[in-house]
Amino acid sequence: MASASHTLAPLNVAPESYIDITGCSPQVLNIVSFVVNRDKKALSEIFYTSMMKNVEAALFLNSSIVEAHLKPGLERWLEMLFCQSDLENLKAVFALQRHIGEIHARAEIPVNLVACGMRLIKRDIMDKLVETDLSRSELGLALMHVGHLIDYAFELMICAYSDSHEHSVKTHEAFRQQSAGINLTVEREKQHSAILEWENMLFRTMAQELNLDRLFPLETSQFGLWLRHKAPLVFGDILEISLIDSSIMRIDSSLLPQITHAALNNPRLDSVRTIVKGILVETEQIKYHLKLMFDRMTEMEVGRDALTQLFNRRFLPTILKKEIEISRKKGGNFSVLMLDIDHFKLVNDTYGHDAGDRVLQQISALIMNNLHAGDFAFRYGGEEFLIVLTEIDATKSVDIAEKIRQRIESSDILLSNGRTMHCTMSIGVAINDGHPDYQRLIERADNALYQAKNSGRNKVVLSSSILK
C-alpha cells in the first residue's frame, strides 16, 4: 500500500504542493469517489438539516432556497471535489473555491458558519467511509485524503472571503463618510419638510373630519422611507437613528390608533387634544435628533458620477446588502432595474459626444423625478443605469419601469443650438427572491434587459426565472 504524501504549504504554492492525490492507491481514491457520489444527496440532506437547526444559520437560509439551490449546489461541489481522477481537474476545482468564498462574503455569511459546515461535511463523509470494507491502513489514508481536501478547499475559500469582506468594509465606510454624495444642507431641509408635511396631513384630516382610518403611518411616509433605507448608509449605526425610530414606533403603534379610537367615539373629548400633543412632542424629538445627525456630518462629493450626479457603482454592494438585510428582518421586498439607452452609439456618432453627455444628464434627471424617497439610482456604466426600488413588489416595479420608459420616450431631449431629439430605453426588472447573494439579483435584471434589447428594444421585461 502506497503511503500518503500530503503536505501543507503557503497559499501562493500550487495545489500539488498541498495534496498529492497519487499518495493514495487507485483503490482508495475510487472508494472515496464512489462513497461521496453514492451518498451525496444524503450528505447534503444531513448537512442542511443540521444547519437549519442553527439559530444563526437560520437567518441566512430558508427552506425554498435550500431545496432549490443550496442542496443541489452542495451535491455538485462534493462530486467535483472528491470525484476527480487527476490533478489538473482538481486544480480547476480549487480555483472555484475562491469564487465560492467571494459569494459567501457578498452574502455576509459568518465565517464560523462556513467552518461549521466544513466540519459537518468532513465528519459525515468520514462516517460513511468507516462503514466500507477498507482495511485499517486504507481507511487511514482515505480519512487523511478527505480531511486534507476539505481543509485546503476551506483555506482557499476563507482567503477569498477575507479579501472580499475587507474590500466591502472599506467601501461601506467610504460611503458613510462621504454622506451618500448628497448636499447635506439641502437634504436636511428636505427631510425636515417631509416631517412637517406628514404633520400637516394629520391635522388637515382631523380638521376636516375626514376618515381617520386613512391616516398612513409615519414609518411609510417619505421621511420614514428615507430613515429606513438611506439614513443608516449615510450616518452609520448611531444613537439618533434608534431614537428617531423609537419615536416613530410610538406614534404609529400607540398614538395614531388612540387618536383614531377617541375621535370616532367622541371627537370632543379632551383626550384627543392630549394625544395630539403627544404626537407633537414625538415629532419635535424627531426634528431635534435629525438636526444632531446632520450637524455631525460634513459635506463631501465623493461617490457620485461627475456627469449625471447619480451614485456610481462603488456603493452598489453596500446598498444591496442593506436592502437584503432589511427584507430579511422586516419583511417587504425590493427590486433592481437595469436600464439601457437604445442605440446610444448613434447619438454620439451623429451629434457628437457633447450631445451624448447632454442626453445622459437629462435622462438621469427624468429617472430621478420618477423615484421615491427610499429608492436609489446609479449610473452603472456608459449609457446603462441601475435603480434599486424599495418597499415594492413585482407588479409595481414593472409599473414604475414602464412609467420611466414612457416618460423618456415622450420627452424632448435638448441639444445645443436649440436642437432636440428623442430617445428610447430598454429596461430589465428583477424582484428580490430572498437569495443572500446580491450579484444574482443584478444578473437576473441584466438578463431581463438583454431580453428587452433582443426583442425589439424600448420595452420592459420582468425576470421570470431564478438563475441556476
Average pLDDT over residues 220-234: 89
Cell 456610481 identifies what position?
A: 312
pTM: 0.57
Cα dihedral value 91, 92, 98, 104, nearest 10: -130
DSSP three-state, residue 460: strand
Q: Is the pLDDT of residue 2 over 60?
A: no
* pLDDT for res 234: 78
Q: For residues 215 and 202, is the Cβ–Cβ distance under 8 A?
A: yes
Which of 391-400, 411-420, 449-458 is least confident?
411-420
* pLDDT for res 173: 55
Burial class (CB in 10 A: 0-12, 13-18, 19+), 33: middle
CA distance 292 to 364: 32
Nearest to 82 by CA among 155, 3, 154, 21: 21
Question: Does 178 or 435 have the greater pLDDT score?
Answer: 435
Q: Tell me: the pLDDT tens digits for 256-267?
A: 888 777 766 665
Q: Tell me: the pLDDT tens digits for 100-154?
A: 777 766 666 777 877 888 888 899 999 999 999 888 988 998 998 898 888 888 8
CA distance 271 to 396: 40
CA distance 195 to 214: 18
Element containing residue 173 per DSSP (H, E):
helix 136-177
Question: Does 238 or 7 have the greater pLDDT score?
Answer: 238
Element containing residue 86 per DSSP (H, E):
none
* pLDDT for res 411: 93
Cell 462621504 identifies what position?
A: 178
Q: Is the pLDDT of residue 15 over 50?
A: no
Whole-angstrom distance between the N-terminal and C-terminal Cα of the chain? 42
- Mean pLDDT (the chain) is 82
* pLDDT for res 164: 66
Q: Tell me: the pLDDT tens digits for 17-73?
A: 444 444 677 888 889 999 999 999 998 888 888 888 877 777 777 788 888 888 888
The radius of gyration computed from the CA coordinates of the chain, to the nearest angstrom, equals 28
All three cell numbers of 77, joined, read: 461541489
